[in-house]
Chain A
Amino acid sequence: MVETVVKVRNLVKSFGELDVLKGVDLDLYKGENLVVLGKSGSGKSVLIKIMVGLLTQDEGSVKVLGKEVKGLSQRELNELRLKIGFSFQASALYDSMTVRENLEFPLVRNVKNLSKADKDKLVEDVLDSVGLLGTINQMPSELSGGQRKRIGIARTLILKPEIMLYDEPTAGLDPITCMDINNLINQVNEKYKTTSIIITHDLTCAKVTGDRMAVLLDGVFGAKGKFEEVFEHAQDGRVKSFYDYNFIKQ
């Protein structure tokens, strides 16, 4: 039987009078890439932020690697966070640090007794994995959007997470760079044996990276399944229009 690494049940989250998530149920199975799709403001990012404890739900249960996130102490939450990599929409690289310092930041704070040689090797390995070894001494402001995304992913990979959460990995990138990022997500999944949730509204990204799709519609998952099941034979008008609008561009 396939292990469930994330289990979400009846998740409810509101911001003031705005109900964003209205009873979301979700299972993420070990080794798979699950794509969560939905319009802007549909609560996709809120969902993964609750998984890492950046936001707290109003109701419902979120279990990550068997632990109920809401009830964890700060120390337990930090231990769990080390097993989760979170790639932010805008990369969230630390502006005042070089690429090397950005990558070393989580390492030096969470891995004890690491020699300088070990540290350098880990940084170089992970940079090599994202194909940007040459940028090691550059500042984030000197990098392109695609490079920043890659470094952001590299920073999360350095702690060898079991689960990767990608928040809009291709947002704001040109189609060629989008494809590079999509391929990188697949390579990461293969090399690091991660389980991933990819938040996007880009159907190309969804098709290339996802094993399974889940479409957030009005605060609940309106459709789940493989890409073809969800989109190519969609009965729900909202899912169908989502598909049509995405592919009109091409």
Chain B
Amino acid sequence: MAGDPSNKDKIIGKRIDKFFIGLESAFKFVKRFFQEVWFPPYEFKEVIRQCYQIGWNSLPLISLTGFIVGVVFTNQSRPSLAEFGATSWLPALISIAVVRAMGPLVTALIAAGKVGSSIGAEIGSMKVTEQIDAMEVSATNPFKFLVVTRVLASTFMIPILVLYTDFVALLGAFTNVHFNELVSLSTFFVQVFDAISFLDVTSSMVKSLFFGFTIGIVGCYKGYNSTKGTEGVGKAANSAVVMAMFLIFIEELLSLQVTNFFRQL
């Protein structure tokens, strides 16, 4: 019966089982990536094609978002600093915020939405239309061709996109500062570079590598394990985005703790 307590226990038990089975399968998928990435054949052409897809095709969206983030953040920060007569600190404040957190986070979230979903949907549709099986029967390792290449490309390209987003966001901030405080470009960037440290840039790049890896591997995992036809493809794309975004926030939190540890040394 539906209301039977033993039935509820069974349902909860099944859900717990499903969670741990999923966790095991994800772990095996990541393990397989690290086992296969080192050994030939290396699909250089496909990695470059994926770098182009992920990097170049994301530029318009990243440019627009980065610039707007710079402008809005500067505008929102001004009143607080103005209360203390410290608007001259705006470039320093913005540079720290953009380089340490906003640049990597905004880039990763946009890439999770754009790149993660497209990887999930592409591999998912290849799975349900037997294209992955077709690769396998032609003696090609589909994991290497589809998964390794995409994960490598997203791991390499996200840090580059983060650097670009940082630059564009700072340009947005400069535009705002220039028209309100009449600060020149050179003065603005001198203050920007004075405020940020080597640790800021390094930690930002390291966490971007993790963000990129997460976006790639989650998209591939969801696509590679999609089932139930076209409905499954939609679900794969959707859950790739949700899961990648969730993991990116967790990673951001962890990286904050690790960076703070190094800052205190």
Contact = CB atoms under 8 A, between A and B. Distances in A.
B138 A54 contact: no
20 contacts: A52-B137, A54-B136, A54-B137, A81-B136, A82-B139, A88-B130, A88-B133, A88-B134, A90-B129, A90-B130, A92-B129, A92-B130, A93-B134, A95-B125, A95-B131, A105-B135, A106-B138, A106-B140, A109-B139, A155-B138
Contacts of B134: 86, 88, 92-94, 155
B21 to A, nearest CB: 15
A92 B133 contact: yes
B123 to A, nearest CB: 11
Contact of B140 (A88, A93, A105): A105
A147 B131 CA distance: 17
Contacts of B125: 95
Interface of B: 41, 122, 125-126, 129-131, 133-140
A108 B213 CA distance: 28
Contact of B139 (A54, A95, A106, A155): A106
Interface of A: 49, 52, 54, 78-79, 81-82, 84, 86, 88-90, 92-96, 105-106, 109-110, 155-156, 159
Given A94-B126, A105-B138, 18 more contacts: A52-B137, A84-B137, A86-B134, A88-B133, A90-B129, A92-B129, A93-B131, A94-B134, A95-B125, A95-B126, A95-B131, A106-B138, A106-B139, A109-B139, A109-B140, A110-B138, A110-B139, A156-B138
Contacts of B136: 54, 81
Contacts of A88: 130, 133-134
Contacts of B137: 52, 54, 81, 84, 86
Contacts of A90: 129-130
Contacts of A78: 139
| Residue of B130, B134, B137 with most chain A CB atoms under a 10 A cut-off | B137
A81 B138 contact: yes
Contacts of B140: 105-106, 109-110
Nearest to A86: B137
Nearest to B130: A92
Nearest to B134: A92
Nearest to B122: A96
Nearest to B128: A90
A110 B136 CA distance: 12
Given A105-B140, A106-B139, A106-B140, A94 B130 contact: no
B167 to A, nearest CB: 31
Nearest to A102: B134
Rank and list the top 7 A-B pairs by shortest CB-CB distance, nearest first. A106-B138, A92-B134, A78-B139, A92-B130, A86-B137, A81-B139, A88-B130
Contacts of B135: 105
B130 to A, nearest CB: 4
A181 B195 CA distance: 70
A187 to B, nearest CB: 22
Contacts of A86: 134, 137
Given A95-B125, A109-B41, A89 B139 contact: no
A41 to B, nearest CB: 15
A92 B135 CA distance: 9
A89 B126 CA distance: 14
B191 to A, nearest CB: 46
A162 to B, nearest CB: 14
B72 to A, nearest CB: 37
Contacts of A82: 139
Nearest to B53: A96
Nearest to B136: A54
A89 B130 CA distance: 9
A106 B131 CA distance: 13
B157 to A, nearest CB: 18
A40 B117 CA distance: 33
Contacts of A52: 137
Contacts of A96: 122
A181 to B, nearest CB: 18
B18 to A, nearest CB: 15
A78 B41 CA distance: 14
A96 B123 CA distance: 11
A82 B137 CA distance: 8
